[in-house]
Amino acid sequence: MAVQKIKENIYSVGAIDWDRRLFDQLIPLPHGTSYNSYLIEGSEKTVLIDAVYLKKWDDLRSNLETLKVDRIDYIVSNHSEPDHSGTIPYLLEIYPEAQILTNSKCKDLLISQLKIDESKITVVDNDTEISTGDKTLKFMMAPWVHWPDTMFTYVPEDKIIFTTDFMGSHLATSDLFVKNEWIVYEAAKRYYAEIMMPFRAHVKKYTRQLKEMDIEIIATSHGPIYDKPEFIINAYTDWSSDEQKGEVIIPYVSMYESTAKMVTYLADRLIEKGIKTTLFNLPETDLGELATYMVDATTVVMGASMVLAGPHPSAIYAASIINALRPKARFLTTVGSFGWADKLGEKLSEQIKDLMPSLKVESLTPVLVKGSPTEEAYRKLDELADEIFNKHRQVMEKRVALN
């Protein structure tokens, strides 16, 4: 990423990773990502806000050379995950005078991960103010979006806040600021689903706090930055709210088409009732897309065939992802086909539910058949569609009543 000017004496100096397609060996990155780093040239002190991923060190070093940075006084580490901290030791070699500013938890993690000398770190908290001459650094502790160490850095003179991962997006783009809101909305929602959704209570709290602050720019550590903060604040307010949207997701895996026929039939009945329903054929599904749809799902219908005495491994994997991401869904059920003994099939629904203990859901009536679906199975699927419709109506009516 080339150097780009954000405001007077504030620059973007990070790196774009156009080629990266997997994060944490888990999260698909269809549009790459960026590791944003920011340089603040105060009238007396120079500050770097976060660093970049180890593999992108050359980009950061080159950008600092372009700006002829011969001294860095402070390196602010808002979050110690290595995609933002991995190159701090390299920076300290070139700028040995630099002092790292971070919170106590982040300090602990920087030392354990990067073996940074403790004397190089100054701990800050909500009351700390650091002057750079004409610009001030203020700090806002914001743990658990998404690590225990996360914090934000605010420069009141420029009304800019650096929020590390919070409100970011995995999007490789040369746009410094958001230009195409539709593209960024989709990428930021996917990012919220994958990274922030398990911490929804914290997300709500920090989103409210940002809304009340005097902010012109939100500069995240992934993706383009926001010069219209209300765009992402409104989106985060919506995604993290307790409000139910009444959507259904059906992640499924089918070995011999029986489960596929059942979930397709159920989806058609739900769509006829006006319920937004989305099917995900798990062996071919982008799990990031499934995560995105979890944000607005009120009901999860797991479509699972059996392998030996348990759910198909694809269903187990998806269930473990759903459990980890903790969507606000209210209802859960299982639809599927099994091949051998009735007793094994009867256990399928409980096995699926047991894989998702972190979900606060009510179980709806499962529909499980031996072999291919019968007329009786289709009748039960009709009843399940009615049950889902009625349950959704109850939670939606409750919402209207509360409003």
Site string for ligand FEO, 215-254 (x = CB under 6 A): ------xx--------------------------------
Element (H, E) at 162: strand 160-162
Contact between 330 and 244 (Cβ < 8 Å):
yes
Beta-ladder partners of 76: 49, 101
Contact range with ligand FEO by CB under 6 A, out of 75-83, 103-111, 184-192, 395-403: 75-83
- What is the smallest separation between the CB atom of 59 and ligand FEO, expressed in angstroms? 16
How many residues touch ligand FEO (CB under 6 A)?
8
Closest CB to ligand FEO belongs to which residue? Answer: 81
- What is the smallest separation between the CB atom of 150 and ligand FEO, expressed in angstroms? 8
Contact range with ligand FEO by CB under 6 A, out of 78-86, 107-115, 212-220, 299-307: 78-86
For residue 335, count CB atoms less than 10 angstroms from its CB and return exposed for 0-12, middle for 13-18, buried for 19 or more: buried
For residue 360, count CB atoms less than 10 angstroms from its CB and return exposed for 0-12, middle for 13-18, buried for 19 or more: exposed
Contact range with ligand FEO by CB under 6 A, out of 79-87, 318-326, 349-357, 387-395: 79-87
Please give the biggest Cα pair distance in the chain: 79
Pick 34 or 258: Cβ nearer ligand FEO = 34
Cα–Cα dist 251/333, whole Å: 11
Q: Which of 41, 50, 81, 247 binds ligand FEO (CB under 6 A)?
A: 81
Element (H, E) at 283: none
Tell me whether strands 38-41 and 15-17 are parallel, antiparallel or unpaired.
Answer: unpaired
Beta-ladder partners of 23: 27
The two tokens of residue 400 are 């209207």
Q: Which of 20, 45, 79, 353 binds ligand FEO (CB under 6 A)?
A: 79
Q: Which of 165, 194, 247, 296 binds ligand FEO (CB under 6 A)?
A: 165
Pick 84 or 200: Cβ nearer ligand FEO = 84
Q: Cα–Cα distances in Å, from 341 out to 187, 206, 256, 370?
A: 45, 51, 17, 8
- Is 20 a binding residue for ligand FEO by CB under 6 A? The answer is no
Contact between 352 and 334 (Cβ < 8 Å):
yes
Contact range with ligand FEO by CB under 6 A, out of 81-89, 151-159, 275-283, 377-385: 81-89
- What is the smallest separation between the CB atom of 168 and ligand FEO, expressed in angstroms? 7
- What is the smallest separation between the CB atom of 17 and ligand FEO, expressed in angstroms? 11
Pick 151 or 356: Cβ nearer ligand FEO = 151
Cα–Cα dist 304/307, whole Å: 9
| Range 111-150, binding ligand FEO (CB under 6 A) | 146
Beta-ladder partners of 4: 12
> H helices within 67-180, ranges in order?
82-85, 88-94, 104-114
Tell me whether strands 362-363 and 331-338 are parallel, antiparallel or unpaired.
Answer: parallel
- Is 190 a binding residue for ligand FEO by CB under 6 A? The answer is no
Q: Which of 41, 59, 83, 296 binds ligand FEO (CB under 6 A)?
A: 83
Point out which residues bind ligand FEO (CB under 6 A): 79, 81, 83-84, 146, 165, 221-222
